[in-house]
Amino acid sequence: MCSSSLNKFMGVVRILSSDTIKATKSNNHTIDLTPWDLQFLTASPNKKGLLYHHHHHHHHQIVANQIQRLRHSLSSSLSFFQPLAGCLEITEHEDSVASCSIKCNNAGVLFIHAAAENTSVADILRPTYVPSIVNSFFAFNGVRNYEGTSQPLLAVQVTELVDGIFIGCTFNHVAVDGNSMWHFINSWAKISRGSCDQISKPPILEHWFPNGIQRPIQFPFTMEPQNNSSDTLSLSSSDEEELCISERLFHFKKEKIVQLRSKVNAEIGSSTNKISSLQALLTHLWCSVIRSKQLNPQEEVHLMFMIGVRPRFVPPLLEDYFGNAIIGCGIKMKVGELLKEGGQCKGALEMNKLIATHSNEMLKNHYESWLKHPSFVKLAGMTNNNFLAIGHSPWFDVYGNDFGWGKPVAVHNGNKINGLVNVFAGIEEGSIDLRVCLPYKNLETMGNDPQFMAIVSN
């Protein structure tokens, strides 16, 4: 039985209020967008959420005060991160050509206060599969990023549970990547738990453009063709039900990851430990996913992932660069080649080599190539068995976000897409969580894969 069928009657989420939060200070200005931003126009927003346990049995007034504090601190935080309180402006020119910018006009952020009165923190943490009610903890289901012309670029939903709180954030991916998203959340948490309305690392809002480039960038784009959902990140509800897409958390402790990395590097014969812990772990996962699908050995399979470019430029972009600074790439192998003895090491080595090619010169060439041949993030192929996509990073500070009532007990992904893996830091130091979205039958098979589960610490 599909996991969504098992938990669909757990409870319902009731909306208590919905309003718009604006920045306390605002400057009306425009931010031109780079190819790194524009590539996400046709994709779905980025959804991440934090789960908190509440230790008060009769806490209604306490929670009401905390939610009011969240509103005030959000308004203060938006003064530093003004693009999130703005909107997209898409200008259509002749011959189906368009340009797109962020108007920092303080249109505001959607703030939703909700309640899941029959759902506890344990109901979210204990099941093997992520309960379907978690999808209801996020706003803007079915919305695409280009709709940021009329929809807020950030929506925050605060959902009260029986004994906890869930803060679900939906970010327009044209405005931010993961690095910028967590920069904002980290700053908001700091303002919320303290009396100071200042942040230690102000974002750098000016986007990076090569010398001589015409701004804003013009590219082929019309609104109407984007209505074909099969070309975007999102799956329709009927597709999801047909494939029975579920999400399962696999937790890896530091010592297990170190053992895996050492084993892979030893088999490769590397004395310099060139394969990173993450590269070893992701190829370990990839092999189990492919085993679960029982594909023909001659079929070609793809592992897609994003690479952060901030530190790879010369000189590097500053860490506090606010926007998108990531590009997608991928490796491919035949099933038989990946699953044979030594195949996992070869996959890790291919990933390592590909990442190493992303030099300053290569990244600038990639940027200029996009200007000549614009392309957008489309994962239509993700609905077939051959693709696995990696998102997010274990280097983001997710468990340090104390809004005033302690650290989160879990971090969740709100993008439930077939073949998507979200990588998070684990709750213990040095550990890693992989949240994997696949058909239920594949996740069950992975859970019974001794080779894979030997490394898993759930």
Query: pLDDT tens digit string along 204-215?
Result: 999 999 998 999
| pLDDT at 4 exceeding the cut of 50 | no
Residues in the chain, total:
458
- Please name which of 82, 44, 3 lies closest in space to residue 378, comparing C-alpha atoms: 44
pLDDT of residue 415: 92
pLDDT of residue 226: 52
What is the chain's mean pLDDT, rounded?
90
- Alpha carbons 42 and 36: distance in angstroms, whole number: 13
| pLDDT at 188 exceeding the cut of 90 | yes
Query: Does an H or E element contain 308, and which?
Result: strand 300-308
pLDDT-derived band at 418 (thresholds 50, 70, 90) equals very high
pLDDT-derived band at 228 (thresholds 50, 70, 90) equals very low
| pLDDT at 285 exceeding the cut of 50 | yes
- Which whole number is the average pLDDT over 220-244? 51
- Which whole number is the average pLDDT over 367-384? 80
Task: Write the DSSP assignment of 162-185 as a string of letters.
Answer: SSEEEEEEEE-TTT--HHHHHHHH
| pLDDT at 360 exceeding the cut of 80 | yes
Q: Give every CB contact of residue 277 below 8 A, 6+ residues apart in sequence.
A: 257, 258, 260, 261, 432
pLDDT-derived band at 191 (thresholds 50, 70, 90) equals very high
| pLDDT at 272 exceeding the cut of 70 | no
pLDDT of residue 458: 80
pLDDT of residue 64: 85
Question: In angstroms, how far is CA 283 from the centroid of its own chain?
Answer: 19
**More confident: 96 or 396:** 396
pLDDT of residue 244: 85
Question: In angstroms, how far is CA 453 from the centroid of its own chain?
Answer: 25
Structure tokens at 397: 């500070």
The lowest-confidence range among 297-311, 359-373, 380-394 is: 380-394
Which residue in 53, 54, 173, 412 is the catalytic one? 173
pLDDT-derived band at 239 (thresholds 50, 70, 90) equals very low
| pLDDT at 383 exceeding the cut of 60 | no
pLDDT of residue 315: 95
| pLDDT at 232 exceeding the cut of 50 | no
Is residue 124 within 8 A of residue 51, CB to CB? The reply is yes
- Which whole number is the average pLDDT over 432-453? 97
Residue pLDDT, tens place only, 291-347 = 999 999 999 999 999 999 999 999 999 999 999 999 999 999 999 999 999 999 999
The lowest-confidence range among 117-126, 222-231, 363-372 is: 222-231
Structure tokens at 98: 């368009």
pLDDT-derived band at 197 (thresholds 50, 70, 90) equals confident
pLDDT of residue 54: 84
pLDDT of residue 405: 86
Residue with tokens 């290569």: 362
- Please confirm, yes or no, whether 32 is among the known catalytic residues: no
- Alpha carbons 84 and 106: distance in angstroms, whole number: 8
| pLDDT at 240 exceeding the cut of 50 | no
Q: What structural domains and CATH numbers belong to the chain?
A: 3-230 (3.30.559.10), 237-453 (3.30.559.10)
Instruction: Look up the pTM and report it.
Output: 0.93
pLDDT-derived band at 17 (thresholds 50, 70, 90) equals very high
- Alpha carbons 249 and 424: distance in angstroms, whole number: 10
pLDDT of residue 200: 87
Which residue in 32, 197, 402, 449 is the catalytic one? 402
Residue pLDDT, tens place only, 155-187 = 999 999 999 999 999 999 999 999 999 999 999
pLDDT of residue 59: 65
- Please confirm, yes or no, whether 231 is among the known catalytic residues: no
Q: Give every CB contact of residue 145 below 8 A, 6+ residues apart in sequence.
A: 40, 41, 42, 43, 44, 45, 88, 172, 173, 174
Phi and psi angles of residue 368, each rounded to the nearest 5 degrees, phi first: -70, -30
pLDDT of residue 271: 58
Residue pLDDT, tens place only, 45-84 = 999 999 999 866 556 777 788 899 999 999 999 999 999 9
Question: In angstroms, how far is CA 442 from the centroid of its own chain?
Answer: 22
pLDDT of residue 26: 86
- Which whole number is the average pLDDT over 360-364? 97
pLDDT of residue 68: 94
pLDDT of residue 224: 60
| pLDDT at 5 exceeding the cut of 50 | no
pLDDT of residue 384: 66
Is residue 366 within 8 A of residue 344, CB to CB? The reply is no
pLDDT of residue 242: 47
Instruction: Give me the amino acid identity at 150.
Output: S
